Amino acid sequence: MNQTNIVEFSIGYEKKNYYHQKGLGQDNERDTVGPKAYLSWIWLYMPNGFFNLRAEYNEEHADGAYWENNGVRLTGNLSIPLLPQETAKRFGLLSLQLTGAGPSGMFTGTAAGIVR
């Protein structure tokens, strides 16, 4: 966008194979495929300081009935430099980093009664 704002978008198709899953029946097969996408905005508000906001969406269509999933997640990250820029050049960067997330998922199957 400009020198202080970056926007990133990604869309793809994800395949997960769990090769070491225990044989607990066809409904417990966790191998999944499905679309995955995210949109991210990064604001570079000062040298070595940034704020990032990211929204993600994914679908996991599993081989087993218990592992279907649709997920939506919103995350935010803030990096605040603690030392003045001249001091950071001499001794190295020291930053306070704060992260927060709001996960939300919808599972269409149920894993009740499964022994893991």
* Listed residue (42, 38, 41) closest to 12, CA to CA: 38
Cβ atoms of residues 55 and 71 within 8 Å: no
DSSP SS3 for 67: helix
Flag whether 112 is in a domain: no
Count how many domains the chain has. 1
Copy the structure tokens of residue 84. 């003045």
Q: Classify residue 115: in a domain, yes or no.
A: no
Q: What integer pLDDT is reported at residue 105 of this predicted model?
A: 64
pLDDT tens digits, one per residue of 16-58: 888 777 667 777 777 889 999 999 999 999 988 999 999 999 9
The pLDDT value given to residue 54: 96
Pairwise CA distance, residues 31 & 42, whole Å: 33
Residue located via tokens 């926007």:
7
DSSP string, 51-91: EEEEEEEEEEEESSGGG-EEEEEEEEEEEEE-S-HHHHHHH
Examine residue 56 and state whether it is found in any structural domain, yes or no.
yes
Q: What is the pTM of this model?
A: 0.73
Q: Is residue 9 part of a domain?
A: yes
In a domain, 53, yes or no: yes
In a domain, 114, yes or no: no
- In the numeric block, the tokens 């649709």 are attached to 70
Q: Tell me, yes or no, whether 12 lies in a domain.
A: yes
| Domain annotation covers residue 101 | yes
Give the domain range for residue 24.
5-107
